[in-house]
Amino acid sequence: MKFSIIVPVYNGEKVIIRALTSALEQTFQDHEVIVVNDGSTDNTQQVVESYINNQNHKISIKLINTENNGRSSARNLGVTKSNSDFVCFLDADDEFHKEHLFEFSKAIERYNHINCFFGDSVIVRDDSSWASYDNYLPRFLDRGEFWTENDGCIQFGQSFSEFLIEGSLIPMCSAAIRRATFIEAGGFNERFSVSEDFELWFRLALNHNYIAVNKVLSTVYHHSDNTSHPQNKYLTLQKQIDVTDYILHKYEDLNSNHIILLVKKRNTLITELLYHSSNITPFQVLISYKKNRGYKAKVTSLACSLLIKSILKYFIKYTK
């Protein structure tokens, strides 16, 4: 059994060494590391090249330099250049724990008919603006009785994909997907830069079972440069709506529960978007409404109410 660790990086000169070191210092050593430099404009390429040239390691580590096409494209490119049974993904600002691949190898050996595996990650935040969660998996399991645990591995029922819809709590850096399955599914959708992980995990869940390793396998660092940082909430919400719409309109194998839950999610996201718009400017409320007005009558009512409040707030602010 062999793993490929795909590391997409864009302007990660300050953090990439930590990620690469964690990938190389695995207790399970049958793996390769593929770094995809996604058009970085800093010294990422030089830092990685120096690291490769000055390390005495038995693990194959390759650097691929490409134009800036986004992280989904970078991950897909890394997989196409890989040579393994399973692929794992490690963002340049995160890190694997030393037993990461070993724990996956045990689970895969035990459930060798399964194609999709994931584990938990611990979250480290650099400021208080992030929600104060420490992990992913416990929150996911708290959503309902759709799972059973057996000797440290969690098996999921047929409703697994429905419980994913509320929001993906499968950490990117704690997932292991059979390479052939990833390629057959088409990989990450390169049109998306937010929630691209949810879209793929959900797409895979429609046709494949998952197993979760009930252990923390990696550390995710939340910092101001993350695309999902709360300061980017408005843009993130609109992109999440776009992903949800895409699934509703393009997927042909959704059941009635999927559709109900996806519509509910979309309406919730639109409501959040309008509220955030009202805290920016009245014009932003109008832009958000125009983009999403076709979905529900109450969206129009809410938009009108928030527009009036935003105008009043804007007027008071600039007439003092």
Largest CA distance in the chain: 68
The larger pLDDT score, comparing residue 249 to residue 130, is at 249
pLDDT at residue 124 is higher than 60: yes
pLDDT at residue 58 is higher than 70: yes
As a whole number, mean pLDDT of residues 183-200 equals 96
What's the confidence (pLDDT) of residue 56?
A: 76
- With cut-offs at 50, 70 and 90, classify the pLDDT of residue 235: confident
User: What percent of the chain shows pLDDT beyond 90?
Assistant: 71
Give the DSSP letter string of 112-141. TT--EEEEEEEEEESSTTS----BSHHHHH
- Looking at every residue in the chain, the average pLDDT score rounds to 87
Plot region of 157 (φ>0 → left; ψ -120 to 50 → alpha; else → beta): beta
Question: What fold, for 3-222?
Answer: Spore Coat Polysaccharide Biosynthesis Protein SpsA; Chain A (3.90.550)
What's the confidence (pLDDT) of residue 297?
A: 45
pLDDT at residue 249 is higher than 50: yes
Per-residue pLDDT reduced to its tens digit, 295-309: 554 455 554 555 555
pLDDT at residue 316 is higher than 50: no
What's the confidence (pLDDT) of residue 66?
A: 97
Per-residue pLDDT reduced to its tens digit, 6-53: 999 999 999 999 999 999 999 999 999 999 999 999 999 999 999 999
pLDDT at residue 68 is higher than 60: yes
Outline which parts of the chain fall under CATH 3.90.550.10: 3-222
What's the confidence (pLDDT) of residue 273?
A: 81
For residue 222, give the nearest of 151, 283, 132, 286 by alpha carbon: 132
